[in-house]
Amino acid sequence: MARQPLAAKRAEELLGASVVATSPVAGGDIATATRLRLSSGQTALMKTLPHAPEGFFEAEAAGLRWLSAVEDGVPVPEVLAAASDCVILAWVEQGSKTPAEAAATFGQQLARTHAAGADEWGLDHDGFIGRLPLPNKTAGSWAEFYAVRRLLPYLKLARDRGSITDGDAAVVESVVGRLTELVPEEQPARLHGDLWNGNCLWGQDLAIHVIDPAAYGGHREVDLAMLHLFGLTHLPRVVAAYDETHPLADGWEDRLGLHQLFPLLVHACMFGGSYGARAGAIAARYV
């Protein structure tokens, strides 16, 4: 590992420890990732983004800390430092094995994290999902929150960007009007909020660690819906262990598409392509 002077200097300012070496890390599509080796022998990950939106890295750090507060919940990397221009996390060494036993343990851990709950639907501060702002102002019910903080803002943005047709948008709007009858009442869960397989790291310690949260108090089926949308190795084992630990409400599988509308609209806003059409097709199942 060579030493990148600017990254090393900033890390040393925040950590109060010497950085022995640094190296670039591939894979991030938003922030620049750098691996740090500290004089203590610890390895860390530093994420930076020039001109980051206000509160960008602070929101990530807060989400990780909130998730980590759950005893025996999903493993998350320790936050070593956070500032307006970067976040520094304990390094998660990834392994090549993806054992079914680890998936089952992850299902139990995710269930415990969700069951730890949240005070309200939403959060006391806004966040981000990818580069997009994530409004978290609280609401009185999940149906209201999902409508006005998740579906409608990103539906409008997708229309403004030409990423969804008027016809598909109208179908999604029709579903919004039916949310109170479609979604069962539950207490707010402690959500990761962006739980796709790219944010699940299979560690060398044979545990699944989650990163890059968009955390808030929401319906637990959202995290499960996103896992199903983008896939995860041994997902049936994850779900079975989850259901044994924190039983799911009847009909949850039929509502997966309903809670996939949000990530599909986010992807339509960010990437365009066929995501808007997929959102319209899934919404049509519920009208």
Query: Any idea which residues carry the catalytic annotation?
Result: 194
DSSP state of 200: E
Closest CA to 282 of 106, 263, 273, 270: 263
CA dihedral 275, 279, 282, 287 (to 10 degrees): -160
Count of C-beta atoms within a 10 Å radius of residue 15: 19
Burial class (CB in 10 A: 0-12, 13-18, 19+), 220: buried
Q: Any bridge partners for residue 34, and if so which?
A: 24, 46
Contacting residues for 236 by C-beta, under 8 A, at least 6 apart: none
- E-assigned strands of the chain? 19-25, 32-38, 43-48, 79-82, 86-90, 127-129, 132-134, 189-191, 200-202, 208-210, 216-218
Are residues 283 and 174 in contact, defined by beta-carbon separation less than 8 angstroms?
A: yes
Pick from 22, 1, 24: nearest CA to 11: 22
Query: Could you tell me if 158 and 173 are in contact, meaning their C-beta atoms sit under 8 angstroms apart?
Result: no
Contact 209, 76 (CB under 8 A): yes
Output the six-digit token pair for 40.
């203590």
